Structure 1
Amino acid sequence: MEWSKKFLKAMVSAKVRAYVKDYCKRNGLLTLSVFAVVTGCVLGFVLRTYNLSTQAKIYFSFPGELLMRMLKMLILPLITSSLMSGLSAMDTKASGRLGFLTITYYLWTTFIAVIVGIVLVLVIHPGTGTEKDGHHSHSGPVMTSADALLDLIR
């Protein structure tokens, strides 16, 4: 009787291990992403209670900054490749019209962005109230060797 319980326990354990292994193969990236988000949230809430120095905050924000820069690097190639694959699937007349509309849309949105930028500069006057060159009241931030190493990766 004792032998059958051990055998049954080993069989269930083997089935559970096989199920978990198969699940991890199928959904490993999703599982790790959710785990990373939960860990980041918990770490953020815990570290918020401590008074960290500015340098420590910079060190903690470094991985997130790298991730955001990598995502920004991926946006343009993804959009370009998806547009190219979409245009290659269309006939020439439709793709020519779509190209014309795309260029027109790009030019108009750029024109509007320039006008909004000029108006905002005239209204807000950015840079007023800041010190002029040559009138520094304090020295610049001290660069540590850790900052230099992080800047190599950034």
Structure 2
Amino acid sequence: MQSPNVHDSSNDTISLIGFPGEIFMQIVEMMILPLIISSVISALAQVRARDARKIGIVTVIYYMTTTFLSTFTGIILVSSIHPGDPALIHALGQGTLENTALSTLDTFLDQIRYDALAGK
């Protein structure tokens, strides 16, 4: 017995419902970097030279620390997980997909999703 809220929707219906959300998220992602850069420039324009020097030093130290930590974490994870190990690839199989057929709707939505928003 199924819950009354569970619907048996087709993949095309789900794609059409989720499409505006995907477009919205891509637009938001395109706005993030310019917004952050303009905020940083605006904040630095209002700071005195001595304070800007302190902020610059702290920023460089923060950047170097996070770079070191991410590099160290990456080396530890690669050393322990061994991605790309031939034995693991053989154990998992060839990795082929069973159903790779694309519909016309998928192709149309992908052109809007990737080509129109990429500025090509």
TM-score, length-scaled by structure 2 = 0.69
Work out which of the two has the higher radius of gyration on C-alpha atoms and give 1 or 2: 1
How many residue pairs match? The answer is 105
Check whether the contact 2:44–2:52 (CA below 8 A) recurs between aligned residues. yes
Question: Could you tell me which residue of structure 2 aligns to residue 71 of structure 1?
Answer: 28
Q: Is the alpha carbon distance of 1:75 and 1:150 closer, same or farther for their aligned partners in structure 2, counting shifts above 3 Å?
A: same
Once the two structures are TM-superposed, the CA of residue 139 in structure 1 deviates from its matched residue by: 5.1
Q: Distance in 2 between matches of 1:124 and 1:59?
A: 38
Check whether the contact 2:12–2:105 (CA below 8 A) recurs between aligned residues. no
Once the two structures are TM-superposed, the CA of residue 126 in structure 1 deviates from its matched residue by: 4.6
**Aligned AA (2:25):** M
SS at match of 2:93: coil
Output the aligned Cα RMSD.
2.5
Q: Distance in 2 between matches of 1:65 and 1:123?
A: 35
- Uncovered stretches (5+) of structure 2, i.e. residues with no partner: 114-120
Q: Which has the higher contact order (CA 8 A, sep 6+)?
A: 2
TM-score, length-scaled by structure 1 = 0.56
Q: Which has the higher helix share?
A: 1
Q: Distance in 1 between matches of 2:23 and 2:82?
A: 32
Identity of aligned residues (%): 34
Q: Is the alpha carbon distance of 1:59 and 1:119 closer, same or farther for their aligned partners in structure 2, counting shifts above 3 Å?
A: farther
**Aligned AA (1:131):** G
- Uncovered stretches (5+) of structure 1, i.e. residues with no partner: 1-45
**Aligned AA (1:110):** T
Kindly indicate whether residue 105 of structure 2 is the aligned counterpart of residue 146 of structure 1.
yes
